[in-house]
Amino acid sequence: MVGLVDFSQPSRNPRFQIVDLSNGRILQTYFVAHGRGSDPGNSGFLERFSNRPGSNASSRGSFLTASTYYGQHGRSGRLVGLDPENSNAASRAIVMHGADYVNPHMARLSGRIGRSLGCFSVPVHDISEVLGYLGAGRLLFAWK
């Protein structure tokens, strides 16, 4: 299994796919937030990436999924950046977690979902399934 995030799509669309590489099938698609620093006008479109601490922006590239933990957002999954564009992911605490501001109802009403501080935030009711698919040692790839 790998996770693919297509940040070229607006946040009102499900743009996070779980792909089974053994048969090339998309198993599931989810809504996923991008960072506030990537969309300063709150348009729902990712405008820029950053790897800089304090940027509150999303990073692009390949991430290795690491251990899960329970924190401010409940069960969450740590990520390790594998590329120069995301090498600060762990120190920036860029993780996968559930968030109330990521939901289909909000996408329909306002044409966008909420923004994270750079994390891959998914609907609260989907985080357990996402972490089940992308346990430790899996690949998450994000690009625009």
The CA distance from 103 to 9, in Å, is 16
Looking at this protein, which amino acid is placed at residue 27?
A: L
User: In the structure, what pLDDT confidence band is assigned to residue 23 with cuts at 50, 70 and 90?
Assistant: very high
pLDDT in tens, 131-142: 999 999 999 999
User: Residue 81: pLDDT band by 50, 70, 90 thresholds?
Assistant: very high
Q: In order of start, what are the domains of the chain with their CATH numbers?
A: 2-39+58-143 (2.40.440.10)
How many C-beta atoms surround the C-beta of residue 25 within 10 A?
9
The reported pLDDT for the residue numbered 80 is: 98
Do 25 and 121 touch, CB atoms closer than 8 A?
no
How confident is the model over 87-96, as pLDDT tens digits? 999 999 999 9
State the alpha helices, DSSP H only, in 7-142. 104-110, 127-133
Distance CA 46, CA 60 (A): 11
Round to whole Å and give the CA distance between 63 and 89: 8
Q: Report pLDDT for 144.
A: 95
